[in-house]
Amino acid sequence: MKQAPRLAVTLGDPCGVGPELLLKVLPAIADRWLPTVYGSLAGLALLPPGGVDFEVREGRLALGPLEIPWVDPTPEVFRDSLKLGEPSAVSGRCAVEAVRSATLDVLADRQDALLTLPISKAAAHMAGYDIPGHTELLQQLTDSPTVRMSFVSPSLKVVLHTVHQSLRSAIEGLNAESVAETLTFTAEQFAALLGLPQIRVALCALNPHAGECGAFGGEEALLEESIKIAADHFGGGASAAPTFHGPCPADTVFLRARRGEFDVVVALYHDQGLIPIKLVEPESAVNLTLGLPFVRVSPDHGTAFDIAGKWAADPRNTLAAAELAYSLQR
């Protein structure tokens, strides 16, 4: 019998909802994967009773009959260094070092895929890590030349051209070549993931009504040029090539994609892509990093410090992430 694939699961910020999410989802994950957890064991010690019963035994997490290997890259951190619901330099270091340790194990072929629970960017910055988020950290750790943040749900697939930066800087930094790079990269990645060489990629416009022929802004001319560059990259409309559409008004393109007109939508900035997918399918959307040498997924939500320790965190995004990783890993 073929051995189940190995999944590295990082705890995320130990003061957020990561520890309780982990305990809720591990039994289901273990049905398909051989999981190993990476994170601060002190995060488990913070949890109040009333949720899931567990024990820690010599570097393994026991959940009923299950025993899951646990790697703690910050064993010097104890419960009294952390406070549930509050990010800190200590919790940020725990979270980032867990991602580092897990990523290195995947690269060394000791794990097959990576599922990351939410980190706090603020806590990571307090700890001295100059990273905007998971995506950029993973790019550094894997030395990947090009990565993009994407989101996958049952009815929508979205790729972000820019991620964690101000809206002003995202707009000021637009240029036809960089948008074309995102379009071609998206087409290549999703064509491989979905097995669809003729993938249909829609590009969001920046301005209302796609600029209304220049009445509401001229950036759409730049975006039209990016689509031409992307199409030329694949042979300028060859029969087996991806097709690029737009720039499409952002207030309708996601509905068109849900109805099957497009396979994936490229959004120009963070909220342009995230608001639709989090509104339509908040429990099932999964963050999938494109361009890494392995599959990496994450639930599409944050640390939720305000509900940490209340055993109220919804595990459905995390379960969807594990399911997506399994389907891509095979």
Are residues 197 and 238 in contact, defined by beta-carbon separation less than 8 angstroms?
Answer: no
Are residues 51 and 61 in contact, defined by beta-carbon separation less than 8 angstroms?
Answer: no
Residue type, 115: L
Are residues 283 and 316 in contact, defined by beta-carbon separation less than 8 angstroms?
Answer: yes
Are residues 208 and 216 in contact, defined by beta-carbon separation less than 8 angstroms?
Answer: yes
- Residue among 87, 161, 96, 94 nearest 134 (CA): 96
Q: Which two tokens stand for residue 296?
A: 């990496």
- In order along its 330 residues, the chain shows pLDDT tens digits of 578 999 999 999 999 999 999 999 999 999 999 999 999 999 999 999 888 888 888 889 999 899 999 999 999 999 999 999 999 999 999 999 999 999 999 999 999 999 999 999 999 999 999 888 888 999 999 999 999 999 999 999 999 999 988 999 999 999 999 999 999 999 999 998 888 778 999 999 999 888 677 877 888 999 999 999 999 998 765 567 899 999 999 999 999 999 999 999 999 999 999 999 999 998 999 999 999 999 999 998 899 999 999 999 999 999 999 999 999 986
Count of all residues that appear for the chain in the document: 330
Are residues 158 and 276 in contact, defined by beta-carbon separation less than 8 angstroms?
Answer: yes
Task: For CATH 3.40.718.10, list the domain ranges present in the chain.
Answer: 1-149+283-330, 155-280
- C-alpha radius of gyration, the chain, whole number: 21
**How many CB atoms are closer than 10 A to CB 296?**
29
Q: Domain 1-149+283-330: what homologous superfamily?
A: Isopropylmalate Dehydrogenase (3.40.718.10)
Q: Which CATH number fits domain 155-280: 3.30.565.10, 3.40.50.1370, 3.40.718.10, 3.40.50.20?
A: 3.40.718.10
- Residue among 306, 308, 244, 254 nearest 285 (CA): 254
